[in-house]
Chain A
Amino acid sequence: MPGRRFNQGLHQALEAKEKVKVQRESRTLATITYQNFFKQYKKLSGMTGTALTEAEEFEQIYELEVMQIPTNEDIIRVDNNDMVYFNQDAKWKAVVDYIKFYHQMGLPILIGTSSIQTSELVSGILNKMTLPHYVLNAKFHEQEANIVKNAGKKSSIVVATNMA
């Protein structure tokens, strides 16, 4: 992009590799936080499915009110409470039990993890159970569209990282 340069020598290294003229580092003259940047706008609004838990933050930082728009039809999703285990072993044993039962019943399963390491741990567990599954952790970009397309089908298992 014109006018944009990587810093700390990265851009120069790329320039040298690509055999173009090595230019000097650009200097940052001013920075602004997203919060303060957004506050420059006279009119500010947004829409998201997950703003309600952060309503306090919107109020404090942006002086914005959060409004919940009711769904067209009643929510049928069953949201269960958290299950807490004494140790990791007990937790993963329970995870295995859940997956085994509902996979056997033919339900599609989505397993959420919060790091690539955990997603790989879960994948290892599933491999041990010889259950075919897909891992979505932003490591395999080309395959992702295909994985998402097939998620939700009978007995499919997808392991996802929350940021992916």
Chain B
Amino acid sequence: MEFVASNYAQWMQRMNNEKKAISAIVYSSREFELTIDAMEKVFGISNEQIRKAEQQKLAFTKGTIKISFNSSKKTKEDPFAEILIEPTSELSHKAELIEKNFYYGLFILGTEKHDSRRIDNQLRGRAGRQ
């Protein structure tokens, strides 16, 4: 899973370099920690520093990071946290925002509905431990 986190962090850096704003949604605390750990390495920010982004916008060399937790998470489909990275912009215009879900594990994409819901559920169920 660490290599996925590392790929996500590198993607964030690439988008940041292209002056795009990123909103990354993670769905569990474990996946959040994985993502944050990878971001520390890629962005060269210490753990103490990145934890500050949980309270307020954290400025780094090429922009700001803000972490917001979803306190009203009830179901597993509710986001656990959002990591928002905005590039530093000299101009006043807002950067294009790219929203992505940071999933870990098997990604299942059903391209069409089957006549029977059972079959659709079977497909969902292919995702490892449920």
- Interface presence of A35 (CB below 8 A): no
Cα–Cα, bound, A163→B114 (Å): 10
| Residue numbers in B under 8 Å from A91 (CB-CB) | 111
Interface residues on B, range: 35 or more
Known: A101-B100, A110-B107. A162 touches B117 (CB 8 A): no
- Chain A positions 140 through 164: 1 when the CB is less than 8 Å from some CB of chain B, otherwise 0: 0000000000001010000010110
Complex interface residues of chain B between 76 and 130 (CB less than 8 A to chain A): 76-77, 100-101, 103-114, 117-130
Contact assessment for A112 and B103 in the assembled complex, using a CB-CB cutoff below 8 Å: no
Contact assessment for A107 and B105 in the assembled complex, using a CB-CB cutoff below 8 Å: yes
- Interface presence of A135 (CB below 8 A): no
Query: Quick one: which of A99, A102, A118, A160 contacts B112, CB cutoff 8 A?
Result: A118
B→A interface (CB under 8 Å): 3-4, 7-8, 11, 27-28, 76-77, 100-101, 103-114, 117-130
Can you list 28 pairs linking A and B with CB atoms under 8 Å apart?
A: A50-B119, A53-B117, A76-B130, A77-B128, A78-B101, A79-B77, A80-B77, A95-B109, A98-B109, A99-B109, A104-B7, A107-B105, A108-B107, A109-B107, A110-B106, A110-B108, A110-B123, A110-B126, A113-B111, A113-B112, A114-B111, A114-B113, A118-B111, A152-B128, A154-B3, A160-B123, A162-B114, A162-B122
Given contacts A50-B121, A152-B128, 17 further A-B contacts (CB under 8 A): A50-B125, A53-B117, A73-B129, A78-B77, A79-B76, A80-B77, A82-B113, A95-B109, A98-B109, A105-B7, A107-B107, A109-B109, A110-B109, A111-B109, A112-B109, A113-B112, A162-B120
